[in-house]
Amino acid sequence: MIEIAFLIRSLNYGGAERQLITLVKGLDKKKFNITVLYFYSGGALEKDLQDIGINLICLKKRDRWDVVGFLWRLVSHLKCITPNVLHGFMGTSNLLTIFLKLFFPSTKMMWGVRASNVDLSRYDWLSLLIFKLECLFSRFADLIVVNSHAGQAYHLAHGFPANKIVVIPNGIDTELFKPHKEARARVRAEWNIAEDTILIGLVGRLDPLKDHPTFLNAAALLCQERKNLHFVCVGSGLESYANELYRLCEELGISNKVIWAGARADMPAVHNSLDIAASSSYTEGFPNVIGEAMACGVPCVVTDVGDSAWIVGDTGVVVGKQNPEALALGWVACLESDRSVLGLKARARIVENFSVKQLVKQTEVVLWRKV
Task: Let me know if residue 315 belongs to a domain.
Answer: yes
Are 334 and 364 within one domain?
no
Task: Let me know if residue 175 belongs to a domain.
Answer: no
Question: What is residue 119's predicted lDDT score, i.e. its pLDDT?
Answer: 66
Segment (H or E) for 50: helix 46-50
Are 220 and 318 within one domain?
yes
List Cβ neighbours of 366 (8 Å cut-off, separation of 6 or more). Answer: 143, 145, 166, 168
Question: What is residue 167's predicted lDDT score, i.e. its pLDDT?
Answer: 94
List Cβ neighbours of 338 (8 Å cut-off, separation of 6 or more). Answer: none
Task: Let me know if residue 190 belongs to a domain.
Answer: yes
- CATH code (residue 155): 3.40.50.2000
Neighbours of 31 (CB within 10 A): 12
Q: What is the maximal distance between C-alpha atoms in the chain? A: 63
Report the number of distinct structural domains present in the chain. 2
Question: What is residue 63's predicted lDDT score, i.e. its pLDDT?
Answer: 86
Range of the domain at 366: 2-170+356-370
Pairing of strands 32-38, 55-58: parallel
Are 337 and 362 within one domain?
no
Are 30 and 100 within one domain?
yes
Residues lower than pLDDT 50 in the chain: none
Task: Let me know if residue 176 belongs to a domain.
Answer: no
Are 132 and 203 within one domain?
no
Are 348 and 360 within one domain?
no
Please check whether residue 284 is in contact with residue 274, taking contact to mean a CB–CB distance below 8 angstroms. no
